[in-house]
């Protein structure tokens, strides 16, 4: 029996972290909206917090008693910090992309000016007669 029929481990981990970040009273609606049963989500949470998800193991014990709430809280905080770090990295890279696009535009304009200047120059330099023929 698979822990994740139709879902990747990354999707399951994201589901579990999202679910545990929801305030009391909104979790049932969230589960129904995504079509995940409470039993499935409990099994996924057990696997994520016990560290068995990546190995594909299905927890056999009543996990809410085996996984301390401090560990769940610490994992949720760690995941939130990872999201913040990713958001900061995306913002930094977006700024760099804008900077490079501006540089690319400036270089395009400079190349256009160089082409325009080369068109204005005379096509060929006038030739001087060969001094030996005079």
What does the pLDDT look like over 52-77, one tens digit per residue? 666 666 655 554 555 566 777 777 78
Identify the residue with better confidence: 20 or 54: 20
Backbone φ, ψ for residue 25 (5° rounding): 105, -15
Contact indicator for 56, 5 with CB cutoff of 8 Å: no
pTM of the predicted model, to two decimals? 0.41
Residue extents of the structural domains in the chain: 1-67, 77-118
Which DSSP string corresponds to 7-29? --HHHHHHHHHHHHHSPTTSHHH
Which DSSP string corresponds to 52-66? -TTTT----S-HHHH
Kindly tell me if the per-residue pLDDT of 47 is higher than 50. Answer: yes
Taking only the tens place, the pLDDT of each residue in 23-33 is 888 888 888 88
pLDDT for 25 equals 82
């Amino acid at each position: 029996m698979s822990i994740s029929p139709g879902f990747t481990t990354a999707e399951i981990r994201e589901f579990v972290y999202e679910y545990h970040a929801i305030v009391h009273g909104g979790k049932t609606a969230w589960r129904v909206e995504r079509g995940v049963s409470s039993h499935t989500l409990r099994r996924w949470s057990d696997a994520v917090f016990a560290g068995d998800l990546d190995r594909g193991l299905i927890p056999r014990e009543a996990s809410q008693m085996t996984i301390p709430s401090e560990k769940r809280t610490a994992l949720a905080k760690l995941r939130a910090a990872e999201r913040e770090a990713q958001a900061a990295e995306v913002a930094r890279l977006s700024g760099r992309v804008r900077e490079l696009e501006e540089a690319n535009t400036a270089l395009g304009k400079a190349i256009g000016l160089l082409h325009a200047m080369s068109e204005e120059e005379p096509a060929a330099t006038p030739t001087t007669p060969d001094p030996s023929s005079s």
